[in-house]
Structures are given as C-alpha cells and as structure tokens.
Amino acid sequence: MNEFVIRPDPLDPRLTERVEGIDQTGQQIETRVTVERALTIFLNSQEIVTAMTINDYPEYLALGYLLNQHMLRSDDTVTGVDYDEELAVVVVRTKRKTNYEKKLKKKVQTSGCAQGTVFGDLMEALEGVTLPDAELRTSWLYRLTHQINTTPSLYLEAGAIHGCVLAQEDRPLVYMEDVGRHNAVDKIAGWMFKHGVPARDKIFYTTGRLTSEMIIKTVRMGIPILVSRSGFTAWGVELARRANLTLIGRARGKRFIALSGEHRIVFDQDLAYVEEESAKHRRKAAVHDD
C-alpha cells in the first residue's frame, strides 16, 4: 500500500477521544469518538467561514475551501498560509487583493450541506467547464475500491466520518477523512492546488451520496470520473449528465451503477474474479452515514 501519498492515521491521538458509556447489557464500556474542532478561515484580512473539522490538514482545508467557493482562483499566487493552532485560525494570503464580503451574504442551505443555491445557479456554476476524455477500466475500479475499503481509517476505528479519495488508475493517492464531507473534498482540492497536481487523469471516490454539491465540486475541480459506494439524487444525476461527468454509484463488491458518462467505462474485468464485500466490511460500512 505504498501508493498513498496521504492516508488516514486512525492512531493519531488528536483525531479521536476516548469516552465512557454503557452498552446494551448495561455494562460500562469505553469507546472512541471522532473529534470536531472549529477552524476559522481568513482570506487576507477577511474572515470567511468557521468550519467544523477534525483539523488534521488546516492549510489544505483553507486552500480547498476558498478554491471551491471561487474566492481563490487557480492562477492566484498564494503568498502565505499561516495556521495558528492556539487561535484555531488559518489565514490564506494572496498577491491579488480580495473582497468577498458581499458574496457571503447570499448563502442558502442545501441538502448536501453548506452554501448552495437553486438549480439555475447550479447550472451556471458548471458553465464553461469541459471535462476531458479519460478512461475508467473496471479492473481499476475494483482494485481501487478494495484498497480503500481495507485501508485502516478513522471511519473503521470510530465511525461517523466521511472519506474521499483522489486516485489515478487503480492507485489511491490521497485519502482524506472529515466530520463534514465537504471538508474532506476541500482538503483534497487544497492538496492538488498546493502541489500543482493535474485533474484530467484522476478519479474521485467518495463514501457519501452523489448530491448536486458533490457533482459540482468534482466538475469544478476538473476531475472527469466520480465514484461512490452510496446512492444518487435526481439533481446530481441531471448535473452530471449536463457536465459530461462519469457518475458511478452504489459501488459495493461486484456491483455498481453508472448513470452518466458511461462512454468512459471500459469493461475489462472478468467479474468471476471479483469478490463480494466481506461480511465484516459490510457490517462496518453500515455505520457509515451522513
């Protein structure tokens, strides 16, 4: 598993807390729960947002959040990212002068969390983006999901957390987890920006639902293929089709369904050699939610 550049560290003591309680027999037990920390993101002198996060990568989170909100442009020169652990503040500084106060007043709430908007605005967000040709071999897909599912993670350790993986062919590169799914995505976007990693040959994997926000973030990042072990929503499918995104959901064991961009899929895997998910993993997976 040396393919990962970043992978979860479930043993990092900062990411979980031990708590005491009782189980169904009334016995005292001790268990681990995922932490949430408030992190305030500034762009230059303006306070932009306070996110609740496990806070393992505050700098990638800040960069990715600002990119995905279109407050930071892909061609911006970032002159510094300063994280103050004590204040729980991260400041992104750019060469370009920025002023986003007005933008912040327009927030509305969507099913997939955070700032969203109505369908027309959603479509607008995708205008001008053309996703590249790319290929998804089913043999890659099965090796990739098997690796992700068997990698130790906070999710397997404490549950109640989202995971996202940036992959290339059958290799997972960056596996981020967070209490908010959008944070996990943003941390990957921040990592790609910081290291100048191209999107055109990548595959994005998420444990969460394929909502409109998830589609929009993936398309804006320029990644042509999105895979999830979870289900679809109608707007998510509609947006993916308009953006020509390959959208694969309910990917578990042998199974998956593609509802958009099927032309990128190459069926090179003999399904007789693909294992179903183990009962152990399936049971664990059921804890995954939200």
87-106 binders of a second copy (CB under 8 A): 104-105
Q: Which segment (29-37, 77-85, 90-98, 188-196) binds a second copy by CB under 8 A?
A: 29-37
Q: Does 272 bind a second copy (CB under 8 A)?
A: no
Hey, which residues between 217 and 246 contact a second copy (CB under 8 A)?
A: 229-237
Q: Does 152 bind a second copy (CB under 8 A)?
A: no
CA distances from 284 to 10, 46, 153, 171, 184 (A): 15, 42, 12, 23, 20
Q: Give the separation between CA 192 and CA 92, rounded to whole angstroms.
A: 16
Q: Give the separation between CA 170 and CA 67, rounded to whole angstroms.
A: 27
Give DSSP secondary structure letters for 148-174. Answer: HHHS--HHHHH-S-EEEEEEETTEEEE
Contact with a second copy (CB under 8 A) among 149, 207, 218, 244:
207
Question: In sequence order, what are the residues at sequence separation of 6 or more whose Cβ sits closer than 8 angstroms to the Cβ of residue 29?
Answer: 20, 21, 22, 23
By C-alpha distance, which of 28, 29, 26, 50 is closest to 38?
A: 50
Q: Does 115 bind a second copy (CB under 8 A)?
A: yes
By C-alpha distance, which of 207, 257, 213, 204 is closest to 235?
A: 213
Contact with a second copy (CB under 8 A) among 43, 114, 192, 215:
114
Q: Which segment (73-81, 91-99, 175-183, 195-203) binds a second copy by CB under 8 A?
A: 175-183
Q: Which segment (25-33, 92-100, 124-132, 197-205) binds a second copy by CB under 8 A?
A: 25-33
Q: Residue type for 2, please? A: N
Hey, which residues between 128 and 147 contact a second copy (CB under 8 A)?
A: 138
CB 221 within 8 A of CB 243: no
Judged by CB, which is closer to a second copy: 199, or 244?
Answer: 244
Cα 23 versus chain centre, distance = 32
Judged by CB, which is closer to a second copy: 21, or 198?
Answer: 21
Judged by CB, which is closer to a second copy: 125, or 158?
Answer: 158
Q: Does 53 bind a second copy (CB under 8 A)?
A: yes
Q: Give the separation between CA 185 and CA 177, rounded to whole angstroms.
A: 9
Q: Does 14 bind a second copy (CB under 8 A)?
A: no
User: How many residues in the shown chain lie near a second copy by CB under 8 A?
Assistant: 85
Q: Does 70 bind a second copy (CB under 8 A)?
A: no
Contact with a second copy (CB under 8 A) among 173, 176, 179, 243:
179
Q: Give the separation between CA 204 and CA 77, rounded to whole angstroms.
A: 26
Q: Which segment (124-132, 153-161, 166-174, 219-227) binds a second copy by CB under 8 A?
A: 153-161
Judged by CB, which is closer to a second copy: 199, or 245?
Answer: 245
Question: In sequence order, what are the residues at sequence separation of 6 or more whose Cβ sits closer than 8 angstroms to the Cβ of residue 70?
Answer: none
Q: Which segment (48-56, 124-132, 188-196, 217-225) binds a second copy by CB under 8 A?
A: 48-56
